Structure formats: C-alpha cells, structure tokens
Amino acid sequence: MNVIFFLIPKKDVIFLKYNATMRQALERMEFHRYSAIPLIDEEGHYIGTLTEGDLLWKLKNTPGLTFENTQNIRLSEIEQHIQNYPVSIDAHIEDLLSRAIEQNFIPVVDDQNVFIGIVRRREILEYCAKILPFDNENNK
C-alpha cells in the first residue's frame, strides 16, 4: 500500500515557516493543542519538527527569556532535539510503520524534498486494526 492512501495534504496540515517566531509557534501549538509541528523553509522544503520540549529547553536555557520577548526568537534559533524523518511520496506502509513507532506523524515529501503533507500514526493504527484478525468485541 502506498503512502498516498494515508496522506493528509499540506493544505490541511498546520505547519510553520522556519523564519516564524517562537511566540507564533507557542500560540499556534496552544490553539491547535499540538505538541509538535512541521517546519518548512521559504521554498516549501521540510526542515524538521518543532516540539513543545524544544520550546521549553529554549526557554530554560535562555537567560531573561519571557513569553513577552519570545517574538524576538526565530525558530531557526531553536535546537530541535528530536528528528522526525520524512518519507517520500513513493514510500509504502512498511516505511511508515518503522517511523510511526517513534513519531506521532510522518512528514511526506516529494522527490525534491518539498513538504506535501503528513501521515498520522492514528491512520496507520486504524488501518492495521482493520486488517488484523482479532475480535474487537473481546479486546475492549
């Protein structure tokens, strides 16, 4: 099965540009209740994934940083502690499974590394639950 079956297209994904501010990230992640969000550059290439932990480490390790002045910190200045590796649009379910063990979502890129969407762990698990032979009534 191809990745496209599970793809949530970029137009339906919340992401941030790499030159956005820490404050924009905090507000967007709070509003959508996300703990991680994809980052893309000005050309649309996937750069990485920003997590709540990355933001907390930046706050902890930056003397004098308060919520009010997070508008002065660019996301490019924040170290990403976890790498969410993308898959190609040509990837198969097996490629998704290995990444879904560690990642809540898997970024998907085209052959030029342009971000085109994500696959969430949820859709992968739902697919697996449908095809695995077990009795849903006895496994509640």
pLDDT per residue over 81-136, tens digit each? 988 889 999 988 888 888 888 888 999 999 999 999 999 999 888 888 888 876 55
Count of helices and strands (H, E) across the chain: 4, 7
- Contacts of residue 49, Cβ cutoff 8 Å, sequence gap at least 6: 36, 37, 38, 39, 80, 82, 83, 84, 103, 107
What gap in Å lies between CA 137 and CA 140, rounded to an integer? 6
Q: Hey, what domains does the chain have and what are their CATH numbers?
A: 3-138 (3.10.580.10)
85, 99 Cβ separation under 8 angstroms = yes
Is 43 buried (19+), middle (13-18) or exposed (0-12) by CB count in 10 A?
A: exposed
Residue 3: band (very low, low, confident or very high) from pLDDT cuts 50, 70, 90: confident
Q: pTM of the entire structure?
A: 0.85
- DSSP one-letter code for 61: H
Give DSSP secondary structure letters for 3-22.
GGGT-EEGGGS--EETTSBH
pLDDT in tens, 19-76: 999 999 999 999 999 999 999 999 999 999 999 999 999 999 999 999 999 999 999 9
